[in-house]
């Protein structure tokens, strides 16, 4: 019984989900930044960062579509509104992409 419990603990500790990069970690490590489009963009091009960006942006797209339908707006309009707020709320030291397309450190 103890072996089974230990095996379960090891499986959880070493699973891909346990070591998956979070959005907050990626921001703090300067791997991603917010954009005015409402989506995160990678600053680093490693596989883990790209996977995170894809996962986060897919989730945001679903949320934006739902908000757009409820408020009779386009998805891109909702994304732009969210993007402006996310850029404004970015913490000091995080990166945001300005209207000129350049990355700026807040």
Pairing of strands 95-97, 32-35: parallel
* Per-residue CA distances from 66 to 10, 69, 79, 87 (Å): 38, 5, 11, 21
Confidence of residue 19 (pLDDT cuts 50, 70, 90): low
Annotated domain spans of the chain: 21-105
pLDDT tens digit string along 53-73?
999 999 999 999 999 999 999
Q: Rounded mean pLDDT of the chain?
A: 87
Given this model, what pLDDT does residue 102 score?
96
Q: Could you give the 3-state DSSP secondary structure of residue 32?
A: strand
């Amino acid at each position: 019984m103890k072996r089974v419990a230990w095996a379960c603990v090891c499986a959880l500790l070493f699973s891909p989900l346990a070591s998956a990069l979070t959005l907050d970690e990626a921001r703090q490590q300067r791997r991603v930044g917010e954009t005015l489009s409402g989506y995160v963009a990678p600053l680093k091009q490693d596989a883990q960062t790209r996977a995170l960006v894809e996962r986060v942006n897919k989730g945001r797209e679903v949320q934006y579509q739902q908000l757009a339908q409820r408020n009779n707006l386009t998805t891109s309009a909702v994304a732009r509104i969210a993007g402006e707020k996310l850029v404004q709320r970015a913490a000091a030291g995080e990166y945001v992409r300005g209207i000129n397309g350049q990355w700026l450190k807040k």
